[in-house]
Structures are given as C-alpha cells and as structure tokens.
Structure 1
C-alpha cells in the first residue's frame, strides 16, 4: 500500500516489505495488506488543537500558508486549532511528516 509510516523494527520492516511484494503480485488481498500495515507500521499520532498550533508556530507559518502546503482550506486549519475538528487521514499523515522531517519534505 502507499502507507509510508516508519516500521517499528527491522524485522517488521522485512515482513511489511514481503507482504507488499506479495500484494503487488496479487497473492494477498488489499484487506490483508491493510492488516500488515496495522501490524507493522507505527500509527500516526493524533494532533489536537494545541499540537497543530504548536507545529504551525514552530514553522513560523500562517494558517493560510499551512493550509496551502497540505492542500486544505484555511478555515479547516482554523477549525483544527479551535478544537472544533481534528485532522485525520491524509491531513494527519502530512502533519506528522512535516513534524518529523520539516516542511521541505512535502514541497
């Protein structure tokens, strides 16, 4: 699958890579591959309002610029920072990537 989270260990990295090869060859299903993803990859942490704001301020970005970088709207970033919503799915993964590797990782 396209999940690029960091493997928990070298052994699990090898298992996940083998499962990915089997999936690409059509020998295991998409559902089974999702199970390997859940088993082998570290979950993306939750980002609450304070975490989103802290990340944005650490990078010295406005809400509008952060929104553009992760392809969402400024009102969505405002909702995250206000606590009305939480980033999930792709947005949470992008925030985690930016948090770990910097904004340059997605630009």
Structure 2
C-alpha cells in the first residue's frame, strides 16, 4: 500500500509539493499540492500522455492557449505534444493526482 503519508516527497516550482504514489518507467502517479497563486512553467511532453484529477480546491489548466477550470472530482487529459501549464489562481491550496504514461522523466520540454 502507498499513501501521501508514506510516499517519496519532493518540492517543485513555486513552493509546490509532490508525492510519488507510483514511480515506474512506463507510468507514474503523483499526488501534487499547489499553494495559492502559484503556477508551473508552460511546457509539453514528447511522448507522455497525462491525466490530471483534482482532489480538492480549484486548478486552472492552460491547454494549447485555452483555460480550463477544474474543481474537485474533475479531470483533464493532456495528450503528447500539447503545450500546457497548471495554475492555481485561487486563494486556497489545490491538490490533485497526475497520471503519466509513460513517465515524464526526460520527456519534458519547457517553453520560454
């Protein structure tokens, strides 16, 4: 069994947290937390397909120039090559799960 309490923890971006629930070369599942008014660097993945599922709070996902606002229990698929950026524009933390197939390790291209 694995949970946020027992998973490998790491920091990313602007004071954001991640916990590896599954860390394999063919798939990763990560529980992430973004504090209020934070965002990641806009980027894309060459091969990885991702699915973001919001657990609590509100996540704004910019996907190919279009903004999508997701609340708890809502998700969005990010296909390979799609430029995207996760953002927390709210005044409350957002927590979500990101499933990536295959893993995004070495497959991320940041956009300046």
The structure with the largest alpha-carbon Rg is: 1
Higher strand share: 2
The TM-score, its normalising length taken from structure 2, stands at 0.26
The TM-score, its normalising length taken from structure 1, stands at 0.27
